[in-house]
Chain A
Amino acid sequence: MSDLLDIEAVREQFLNQVFDEQTFELDTAQIVDYARACGEQAPRYVDPGHPDFQAPPTFPSSFRPTRRLPEGFPKLPGLGMDAGKAVAPMAPVRPGVKLTARTHLHEVYAKTGRSGRMTFMVTRMEIFDPDGVQLAAADTRIVIREKPSS
């Protein structure tokens, strides 16, 4: 008997299906505070008067879906930890623009070692402007350390 997540079954049932949709809208002060805290100095991120003023490229990483994994996803055999984030900016995120963010399970994979198995779940949030133009993709990697039951 094993408590390990059935990766193939999970992939087949949940991969690439949008499980969360939300809207966001950034304001100017929020963008400047975010950029300055990161240490940005480039005027396009910290000066609202700059003609190309926009959010720093990592801002989409801060958007969070209402749930981490799809509804009906098997109970994780342990605490899922945030193992990393990747962001791919495609076009500027500007203040006052309504953004739509859709999240899906992008990948599930495992790494096995002598002390057990580590399973990684990658959720991808895709961010669009009101015209449907994709502005960014932001990935979150959740890792869980699994031990087979003896």
Chain B
Amino acid sequence: MSIASIADVEFGAQLPEFEPDTSLENVRSFVVAAGWDGPRFTDHEAARKEGLPGALVPGILSQGYLAAMIHRWAPDAFIENVDTIFRAPVLVDEPYRISGVVTDVDEDDGRVEIDLTLTNEQGETRVFGTAMVKLPIE
């Protein structure tokens, strides 16, 4: 269900899960657009030579996934703040899921707080975020 206004949101509601595109091709496109192009993000072998387990998804892309997930849920949402904690590396070409839950709703001013968690296949949290979002009141 797409959220159009604050009236559609319930405390504790789960956002639809989102599986971000961590493919090498997508990460390459992102780092070029962001001006972050570098082998640790685009080349598994080069990343391993740096002592990393493989090419990394940049933290700013993980943050971008979280924001996109919010907009997929509520296309007219205005994100006032998104705070992202990088707990462990997110690897290129590995599958991840993002879940989200509404932790606070202020119907008077249209604000919603959302906790967002990016996990790997083992269910380990790699990135955690909190967002404050403003929705149309009606």
Contact = CB atoms under 8 A, between A and B. Distances in A.
Q: Do A and B come from one complex?
A: yes
A117 to B, nearest CB: 19
27 contacts: A29-B33, A30-B33, A33-B29, A34-B33, A34-B34, A34-B64, A36-B29, A37-B29, A37-B64, A38-B64, A38-B67, A39-B21, A39-B65, A39-B69, A40-B64, A41-B71, A42-B75, A56-B64, A56-B67, A58-B64, A62-B34, A83-B86, A84-B86, A86-B81, A86-B84, A88-B80, A88-B81
B72 A41 contact: yes
Interface of B is mostly: helix
A36 B33 CA distance: 10
B85 interface: yes
Interface of A: 29-31, 33-42, 45, 56-59, 61-62, 64, 82-89, 139
B82 A57 contact: yes
Interface of B: 18, 20-21, 26-27, 29-30, 32-36, 59-61, 63-69, 71-72, 75, 78-86
Contact of B59 (A35, A41, A85): A85
Pick from B33, B78, B85 the residue with the most CB of A within 10 Å. B33
Nearest to A40: B68
A57 B67 CA distance: 8
A85 B71 contact: no
A39 B82 CA distance: 16
Nearest to A33: B33
B64 A83 contact: no
B29 A61 contact: no
Contacts of B20: 39
Given A39-B68, A82-B86, A33 B63 contact: no
Contacts of B72: 39, 41
A85 B81 CA distance: 11
Contacts of B65: 38-39
Contact of B63 (A40, A45, A87, A88): A87
A89 B79 contact: yes
Given A37-B21, A62-B36, A85-B86, 9 more contacts: A34-B64, A37-B33, A40-B64, A58-B63, A83-B86, A84-B83, A86-B81, A87-B63, A87-B81
